[in-house]
DNA sequence: TTGGGTGCAAAGGCTTTGCATGTGA
DNA sequence: TCACATGCAAAGCCTTTGCACCCAA
């Protein structure tokens, strides 16, 4: 994942922006938690361990920057926080999004890769004349672990 | 859609809650805009035409109530507002969600019914052990009208 | 040197809450 | 009557913005 950082640096320079410690640290925080979907506050706490002087405003500003540069993706679970994750593709070709599986019990977010939505997109395009360029899929349910525990709890009753 | 209102009244009574003018008016506002996805503020403005004395807080409280009763659905387009729409099924059996098509040009939200996600859900269940109970699908792109206009604009160049 | 970047605190904008008053049952 | 509901205003909460100072280039 080092090339993501390189890419960031290049993009910054290309746009006449500066490569600062804070910006790199924020990207690193997101890279170190590839499975997590961090809130701004969580990123802030994360970076603060290494750099206690960083301000929350900087985190927000950098997040916005990273979003504009397509290096990270927003994720809204509807809990009042916007979450962020490292984007899956380095370039800006049509995104092959993964889907999010959100456990209603433990709150964990799993990801799932799949192309099965292509069919649906084609269908929408043909029947409704709507050209799909991106999509966002969230599945709510119960993860393997929680289901096992539910079964266990039932048995011990 | 009258039965939705009846259902609301019944549910209120069943829960020891009161049938008030405001609650009915708010549900009506949502019923009168079946295609729209109204924000709290929009519902407020809508109801205020008939009942200028209503307070925004009441709208928020009623929205929350309607959500808990499964009579309306939340929709988050990521623009900082939560939107609400009349739910599609009256009962609480497994939801047959429609999907949302959001035009990146005009901002209109279309809906699309489809079962094609069932396959995907089964797949997820089998490969990951994740039990899907609900889903939310948003497609971003360009609607028929906007695409036509884009073509027209191109020609006149 | 110098223009963009950062930190801090204040301001914004949506939503919730506290409280006194109002009202459906 | 009386518990629940409403309206208003204040408070909450996440996020953005203004401004003086700082620092990468």
Check residue A156 and report its DSSP letter. T
Strand partners, B138: A136, B100
The pTM (predicted TM-score) of the whole model is 0.87
- The range of the structural domain enclosing residue A27 comes to 1-95
Which residues in chain A touch residue B132, judged by CB atoms under 8 angstroms apart? Answer: 101, 139-141
Q: Would the Cβ of A16 be found within 7 angstroms of any atom in strand D? A: no
- Where is the domain boundary, B75, B95, B115? B95
B95 touches chain A (CB under 8 A): no
Q: What one-character DSSP code corresponds to residue A51?
A: -
Tokens 């900087």 locate to A58
Beta strands of chain A (E only): which ranges? Answer: 38-39, 72-76, 82-86, 98-103, 109-113, 131-142
Residues A130 and A65 in one domain: no
Longest pairwise C-alpha distance within chain A: 65
Q: What is the CATH number of the domain that holds B34?
A: 1.10.10.10
Among B78, B95, B112, residue at a domain's last position: B95
Residue B16 shares a structural domain with residue B79: yes
Q: How many domains does chain B have?
A: 2
User: Which of A95, A120, A137 is the endpoint of a domain?
Assistant: A95
Q: Are A97 and B138 in contact (CB under 8 A)?
A: no
Q: Is-contact A112 A98, C-beta < 8 A?
A: yes
A104 with A28, same domain? no
User: Is residue B106 marked as binding?
Assistant: yes
User: pLDDT tens digits for chain B (157 residues)?
Assistant: 558 999 999 999 999 999 999 999 999 999 988 668 999 999 999 999 999 999 999 999 999 999 999 999 999 887 888 999 987 654 444 456 678 999 988 888 898 887 778 888 999 999 999 999 988 899 999 999 999 988 877 767 5
Neighboring chain A residues of B131 at a CB cutoff of 8 Å: 141-142, 147
CB burial string A77-109: b at 16+ within 10 A, e below: beeeebbbbbbeeeeeeeeebebbbbbeeeeeb
């Amino acid at each position: 994942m080092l090339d993501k950082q390189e890419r960031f640096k290049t993009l910054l320079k290309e746009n006449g922006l500066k490569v600062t410690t804070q910006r790199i640290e924020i990207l690193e925080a997101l890279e170190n938690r590839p499975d997590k979907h961090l809130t701004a506050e969580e990123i802030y706490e994360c970076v603060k361990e290494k750099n206690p002087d960083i301000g929350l405003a900087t985190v927000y500003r950098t997040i916005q920057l990273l979003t504009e540069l397509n290096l990270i993706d927003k994720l809204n679970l509807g809990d009042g926080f916007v979450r962020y994750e490292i984007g899956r593709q380095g370039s800006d070709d049509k995104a092959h999004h993964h889907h999010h599986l959100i456990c209603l019990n433990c709150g964990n977010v799993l990801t799932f890769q799949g192309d099965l939505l292509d069919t649906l997109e084609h269908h929408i395009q043909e029947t409704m004349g709507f050209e799909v360029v991106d999509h966002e899929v969230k599945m709510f349910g119960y993860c393997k672990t929680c289901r096992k525990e539910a079964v266990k709890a039932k048995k011990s009753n």
